[in-house]
A and B are shown apart, each in its own frame.
Chain A
């Protein structure tokens, strides 16, 4: 059979992705450069080479640290949920990415006050163990001594924070507030906060989209898929990551995920927050 160059190129690009997700940037770049040599018109190879070179230069200049398990695992959400059950804790901040990115950045000025307290008896059932223990994270708040009014107040504050941050073009805290509100709704004890959170889905979707940025940009995997559980992500995230090829745009990924659009946008935002993906600029 004649040599199938396009197959060879695809294999090289794929191998490059594997190197990249294991932070072997130079190996990835080398594979992508070889692919580009095989077909100088291959747009995918060209963009990956540009991305790889820029990333290598950033690392060289100390402007980029490859994601390590420690910093990619970090998610405020388990901490937030735990905070809802803390006896003394009455405050948790929704971090602003600018604040997290370095000392020069401004601190978040939109700290959220979450009136989580165990002083009041839980409306439904309280777990005796939780009176004294502070769980690291909870699957549900139903078994925890959280007063429904506090959950409601927190949800309202998160909604407000999401709206305010979005209005001020602070996409990262807006998206985080949206995610927290959704998680709160998913875990809240009856009567729940769905009546507050559900009507705000359009707002949340806008927040997630703003956080994701240009819908025509193309994501690629930045960490191995098997580590996603450590980021608190599920198999939907793994599925979306398996679709990423550096050519498929965020918009196309959302459309072709087979998920409801809102879910796809939310999972992608979670992946971005966990730094599990890198985003390539849109195709020319």
Chain B
């Protein structure tokens, strides 16, 4: 069977997986029939790892042990303001990791951020494998266009831990545009308006002859569907408190139900003008004192409660368009991405701002994964998407720190990737044998205000007078947006050794260990599933045999087939029952054959008994 590459939209709130089947990208539903899976990981009291819907459904009642929106943390150093903002907002524990990275505490275990993202990727991989009926190892994973090198590298690491070969990292708006434009002749600039569960992004892309170029991108990593849900939760809780003098938000079970109901109502209101929120027995204040929540909410009320949030997205669009020097009339299309864009008010304001009806031909929740699957298929087999060339740009300038703490730009932002730029370094002291280069990404002229990518030490330089040794250092940004560095002595042509000091993320050995552990867990989990399947099969057989036993005993009474033989049969049934109850893999294997033989014998005896009596 030919190897296939899947496309994964690893979202802040939800993730989605797709595969190109023939010429059609197909989004794969999980076992529950949902085409998106919450990017939530939790540890239960028994130490079981929960991923997806099941983890989300206990996120409030087991808040301290449930990690969500870890995408906001991936690849960021501990000192990053974004990390500190998340730390203040989430109930799960964040601590500084050994490399200045972020670690998350769930129960008594510490996890790196890529590790938790890997669990989500693993889940998406499993969903795809179940659907395709074959092992999947190659994937294209999407990231926000503004992700820097560290974040992209950490996402790739997550893929490795999940046992996936991430053949390409692509920008989410690019993937959306790819799916939107796939099989069509599209030329011109399009806007991708992506309002998801936890983040908002807007990107302007230029599509020419199959070339997709992101020309501008911006967003807000703390603006999404959850903020809308929260408004609704507050409205419901306040109304309930007014009526019953009880704050539902103070009770974790009630709050969990309230959140679930608010999200559902919000979704419903995209298709109906009003909906009922009905939470029977949501709380009690004592014995037999049950309170039920019952409210009707209209679409206009929801719009009123959340208008400022929707308007914030439009303000960001305005700034992005100004930054890119683009007028609404320069755009040929506005593509809506993210579940929140189903909300009619969002569509209305987007339409007003861009002075055109937004495109509604693509599934907003699925379009990014679909685009990733198209790219994946093209990378595995160029014939899958002929004439398709995908070009992204680097969202941040890349440079180094120079004397005085200034930031010296080597590659400007919005430069099309892959790209490379070289810089000549010389020694500043006699007999200097090493040079330290500190690399940053960002737009500030002060190096320290930008994101530190890493420190590179060029060592083993030949001894010479200052200024005599010239080293050419080449900075490359791959198609994934990941930075790499190589160095060469200009005179001798010798490659210089480069030491990379991790400023965030994981070391190579940590990634390898986590990948091995994850693989072992997956194997164990599959083995466990197999045992369970066999246990269920044997249990069914035992039940049938036990059901037939009285009849068999009756038929065989007084026949040469003596009580001793029946005792043997009873022993087999006892052994089988014990193996079923103990979930004993070896025991199940041992009893399978004699049990089947016994059952066949029982069936034969009962049938012949029927014939005789008939």
Contacts and interface: CB of A to CB of B under 8 A. Distances in A.
Interface string A95-114: 00000000000000000000
A104 to B, nearest CB: 13
A239 B33 contact: no
Contacts of B35: 6
B206 to A, nearest CB: 26
Contact of A228 (B42, B60, B290): B290
B315 interface: no
B46 A44 contact: no
A226 B267 contact: no
B570 interface: no
A257 B280 contact: no
B31 A238 contact: no
Interface in B47-77: 48, 50, 54-55, 57-58, 60-62
A257 B54 CA distance: 9
Given A226-B280, A256-B50, A259-B61, A245 B32 contact: yes
Interface in B221-274: 252-254, 256-257, 260, 267
A10 B44 CA distance: 26
Interface in A27-65: 39, 41-45
Contacts of A44: 32-33
Contacts of A225: 280-281
Interface stretch (A66-74, A81-89, A153-161, A229-237): A229-237
A282 B256 contact: no
Interface stretch (B359-367, B387-395, B483-491, B599-607): B359-367
Contacts of A242: 257, 260, 279
Interface in B542-568: none
B532 interface: yes
Interface in B345-399: 360-364
Given A2-B363, A4-B363, A258 B58 contact: yes
Nearest to A1: B360
A226 B33 contact: no
Given A139-B287, A226-B281, A228-B290, A247 B32 contact: yes
Interface in A210-255: 214, 216, 224-226, 228-229, 234-236, 238-239, 242-243, 245, 247-248, 252, 255
B536 A258 contact: no
Interface in B4-61: 29, 31-35, 42, 44-46, 48, 50, 54-55, 57-58, 60-61
B430 to A, nearest CB: 67
Nearest to A259: B61
B288 interface: yes
A260 B284 CA distance: 20
Interface of B: 29, 31-35, 42, 44-46, 48, 50, 54-55, 57-58, 60-62, 252-254, 256-257, 260, 267, 279-284, 287-290, 292, 342, 360-364, 532, 536, 539
Given A2-B361, A4-B363, A282-B536, A252 B253 contact: no
A229 B288 contact: yes
A243 B342 CA distance: 26
B55 A6 contact: no
A256 B54 CA distance: 6
Contacts of A256: 42, 44, 50, 54-55, 57-58, 62
A196 interface: no
Given A42-B33, A235-B290, A258-B62, A243 B280 contact: no
A10 B33 contact: yes
A225 B280 CA distance: 6
A224 B363 contact: no
Contacts, number: 103
Given A7-B267, A256-B55, 15 more contacts: A6-B29, A6-B34, A43-B31, A139-B287, A214-B536, A216-B532, A228-B281, A238-B280, A238-B281, A238-B290, A239-B61, A247-B32, A248-B54, A256-B42, A257-B61
Contacts of B253: 235-236, 239, 258
A175 interface: no
Interface string A132-174: 0000000100000000000000000000000000000000000
A37 to B, nearest CB: 14
A124 interface: no
A9 interface: yes
Contacts of A91: none
Contacts of A257: 58, 61
B31 A261 contact: no
Contacts of B55: 256
A93 interface: no
Contacts of A255: 44-46, 48, 50, 54, 58
A281 B287 CA distance: 34
A259 B287 CA distance: 20
Given A1-B360, A2-B361, A45 B54 contact: no
A9 B30 CA distance: 14
A261 B569 CA distance: 38
Contacts of B364: 1
B283 A235 contact: yes
Nearest to B336: A1
